[in-house]
Structure 1
Amino acid sequence: MAATAADVGFARPRQAAVTLVTFVVVAVLVAATAALAYRWYFRTEIPEGVTSLLGISVVALYLNTTSLGSVAVGDNPALLAPESVFFNLVSLGVAAVMAPVGRYVGDRLAVDVFALSGAKQLEGELSGVVRAVGRFTAVTLPAADAIADMDTYDPVSPEKKAELAETTLLFPRKLSTEELRDRLVARLKEEYGVGYVDIDLDADGTVEYFAVGSRAAGLGPTLAPGSVAIAVAADPPNTATVGDTVQLWRDEPEPKRVATGELRGVADDAVTVALDESDAERLTDEEGYRLVTLPAEPHADREFASLLRNADETMASVTVEAGSDLEGSTVGEVGAVVAAIRPEGGSVQPIPRRAYALGAGDLVYLVGRPDAIRRIEAAAAAGAGAVPTDGGTEPGRSADEETDDEETDRPDDADRAQRS
């Protein structure tokens, strides 16, 4: 510039315009550079206040430097003249207004450049050009308030949802929809520590539904219905370990067995035992107990429950409503494992035949992925959409095998299934 900032004012319109445009360019460049560097280092968007502060600071630094330089050479500019003060305020205001523009440009440029360079995780929307030329599928998660909780699992924390919100994950373009979903679920579990994921995706990676849940923790989720865990003062055997079946005996006034349960924890003289509610009512705080360890017995039901808690599948019960699309469908047409059915007014039928037709009022016990169970629950409601199916075949079985099963289904087969 021909004149210093200290000498420029609106009395010289041309010089003032050139100076302000220069300030705009400098503020935008500084903000854009900061946004790009911040995105590269932290993999997230720079706060807006930081870029505004940087834009104002660089202009203020220039104004102060030129003013002090004029004073040093003896020009003695009128720094406090109304015209100079007004021009300086306008310069700082222009920098504050234009810095967010630089922030937006720098962040979008960083996201696109990192995407094309092969980054696997981003937080930001890709431009249409990069989406078109990139050899990947970008999956952008919804906002925090659009992330749902899974009914059958503990909810995740709001902080975890905020961490997931609007994050863009990149995957190879040639993946099928199912492969894309599986990879996305695996990455969310590994990189974000999410226990369970229920998500629906379009072929282009658009998220239609997204819900998360955390893994169950503590004793509560491991207790069977009708049982409780209680801590008592006891003298456990030295070799007793968690999971052993134990008996609680009272010494005085005479030896007497009080209850039988499962050892869950030992801390000095305090022992945690899981047992039936009725047995827990007989225990008192004033007395100590002796524990007797019983021979090990297999507990297939507990082993199954433990495995199911660590798997992606879950259990749920669904009531078939009259007029729903699930009414009249067969067990083989349901897109999940049907463990049992309780007809309305009837007894439980475990492992029903695939040809069993579901009727109104049937209570169906299911084992499957949360997304499949969610669709079945919707189909079981009156006025819902079509019944979700798995193509009429069980996983790992061909259609010919299923046809053979249907042809060989006999009453004695059903009787054996009910007795198992």
Structure 2
Amino acid sequence: MTPVQLQVAARVVAEAALVVSLGLVAGAVAAGVAVAHRWYARGGIPEGLAVLAGVSVVAVALNTTAVLGGVIDGVGTIDETKALVNVAAFLAGAAAAVAGARVGDALAVNVFEEDLPEVGRIVRSVGRHITVTLPEEIADMDDHDPVPPEVKAELACRSLSFPRGLTVDELRSRLVTRLKADYGVGYVDLDITEDGEVEYLAVGSRVAGIGPTLAPGSAAVAVRADPAFSASPGDLVQVWDDDPLALVTSAEIRAVAGETVTLALDASDADRLDSSDRYRLVTLPAEARSDREFAALLRAADETLGVVAVAEGSPLAGLAVGAIDASIVAIRGEEGVAALPKRGRRLAPGETVYALARPDVLRRLESAARGEGRPPLAAEAEGADD
């Protein structure tokens, strides 16, 4: 081989090594950008962005403007060999950038995604905040008083910002708390996706007043009386008539305003009280009232009570109580009412289920009871089902 041929071969090898080296550098840069994108945006990097990052490094390394500047300015000639090397380097850099981005994203998934909390899925968001836009149409919740129309109009298409890195459940909880605190909404029923998009939103006013806390067969009556100085709602009292002195009934104080006292008592005893008479009240020792305590806690909680009937062919039939993502407080069947059933107890068609859960969970439970959708399963049940 002549010296000239050796010189040409050496140049070809050098140019090929340069192209391969630039391709490796472009792939490494794209992999690094993919890792950063996965960490920041919690999503895979677009291939176009990866190619742009890779070929930018190639362009800087080759100093392309020095090769093509003369031709662009209309002076000088182009070096065909250098132009060919540039084209080959760009093609190699683009291909290596795509491959490097995929490798970097796969490594980032193993590093970052495995450290995510197991309590729920992280909301996919791009940027430093999660922006949630409420739907234009906001429904009213069944069995709840509707919120004022002006409140629904204010909520429609409203955008709310939350910090990134929240799970879907955490975002739902913060959104519900925000709606209650800022807009005076009592109950919220919503479906939210992993992308932070609200698919369904219904709101209702929190039920107020004495009526919702009265047990069946009871009533509330306002009378003139002489309550004790420190009398307060929940006190048990005896109601005595002055003329003649006689015991009228026993009741529970619900409200006190001066000499006007609102009493809760059996509906059959309500007729014994006359609003024109004045009564004496004798306070009785306190005793546990689990029903009143439960009603007070329920009114203050985000959860509400729902009653569903399991139909034939419903996916709830044969499902264990512990597999349902709700607190089953009672089941009414042919054998009567089973309070606080065991987790292994299985539901049967024709039974009535009393469940305590968030409004969105109860809505899914009602649909499943009718056979129109999947039941809300607990996390361990979903894992077993998958």
TM-score bin (small chain): 0.5 to 0.7
Share of identical aligned residues, percent?
56
Of 351, 361, 364, the match for 1:362: 351
CA distance in 1, matches of 2:158, 2:361: 25
Match of 1:153 among 136, 141, 144: 144
**The one of 261, 267, 281 aligned to 1:291:** 281
Counterpart mapping for 1:105-254 below 5 A: 134-143=127-136, 146-253=137-244
Deviation, structure 1 residue 174: 2.9
Q: Distance in 2 between matches of 1:247 and 1:331?
A: 43
1:224 positional shift: 2.0
Contact 2:239 2:249 in 1 (8 A): yes
**Structural mapping, 1:258-407, within 5 Å:** 258-343=248-333, 345-382=334-371, 384-392=372-380
Q: CA deviation at 1:334?
A: 1.4
When residues 204 and 284 of structure 1 are mapped into structure 2, their CA distance, relative to the original with a 3 A threshold, is same
Find the aligned partners of 1:184 and 1:266 in 2 and give their Cα distance: 37
| TM-score for the superposition, normalised by structure 1 | 0.58
CA drift of 1:132 comes to 9.1
* d(CA) in 2 for partners of 1:196, 1:162: 17
Q: CA deviation at 1:202?
A: 1.1
State the secondary structure of the residue aligned to 2:287.
coil
Q: Secondary structure at the match of 2:318?
A: coil
* 1:46-65 alpha-carbon deviations (Å, 9 max, x no partner): xxxxxxxxxxxxxxxxxxxx
- 3-state secondary structure, aligned to 2:243: coil
Counterpart of 1:177, as a letter, is V
| Residues 287/141 of structure 1: CA separation in 2 closer, same or farther (3 Å cut) | same
Indicate if the aligned counterparts of 1:329 and 1:358 stay in contact, CA closer than 8 A. Answer: yes
SS in 1 for 2:239: strand
Counterparts of 2:125 and 2:359 in 1: how far apart (Å)?
Answer: 33
Contact 1:332 / 1:354 at 8 angstroms: preserved in 2? yes
Cα distance per residue 1:28-50 (max 9 Å; x no partner): xxxxxxxxxxxxxxxxxxxxxxx
- Please tell me whether Structure 1 or Structure 2 has the larger radius of gyration of its CA atoms: 2
Q: Cα deviations across residues 214-262 of structure 1 (Å, max 9, x unaligned)?
A: 2222222222222111111222233433321111111223x22111111
Q: Give the CA deviation at 1:359.
A: 0.9
SS at match of 1:323: coil
Q: Is contact 1:156-1:214 (8 Å) kept? A: yes
Matched residue type, 1:358: L
SS at match of 2:269: helix
What is the CA–CA distance in structure 2 between the aligned matches of 1:368 and 1:393, rounded to whole Å? 17
Question: 1:209 & 1:323 partners in 2: Cα distance?
Answer: 26
SS at match of 2:379: coil
Q: Which residue of 1 aligns with 2:13?
A: none
The runs of 5 or more residues in structure 1 that have no matched partner are 1-130, 400-420
In structure 2, C-alpha distance between the alignment counterparts of 1:132 and 1:149, rounded to whole Å: 29
- Give me the whole-angstrom Cα distance separating, in 1, the residues matched to 2:131 and 2:256: 50
Deviations 1:192-228 (A, max 9, x none): 2222211111111221110112222222222222211
Structure-2 residue corresponding to 1:95: none
Q: 1:237 to 1:185 in 2, by over 3 A?
A: closer
Change (3 A) 1:256 1:165: same
Q: CA deviation at 1:393?
A: 6.6
**Aligned-pair CA distance for 1:136:** 2.7
Contact 1:340–1:365, Cα closer than 8 Å, also in 2: yes
Check conservation: 2:222, 2:275, Cα contact below 8 A. no
SS of match in other structure, 2:316: coil
Change (3 A) 1:266 1:385: closer
In the TM superposition, residue 271 of structure 1 has moved relative to its aligned partner by: 1.6
Task: Report the Cα distance in structure 2 between the residues aligned to 1:366 and 1:132, rounded to whole angstroms.
Answer: 34
Equivalent pair of 2:321/2:344 in contact (CA under 8 Å) = yes
Q: What is the distance in 2 between the residues matched to 1:180 and 1:154? A: 25
2: distance between equivalents of 1:224 and 1:359? Answer: 29
Partner residue, 1:114: none
TM-score for the superposition, normalised by structure 2: 0.63
Contact 1:332/1:392 (<8 A) preserved: no
Q: How does 1:15-54 map to 2 (within 5 A)?
A: none
> Which amino acid counterpart does residue 346 of structure 1 have in structure 2?
E
RMSD between superposed Cα atoms in Å: 2.3
Q: What amino acid does structure 1 have at the position aligned with 2:228?
A: P
* Counterpart secondary structure, 2:336: coil
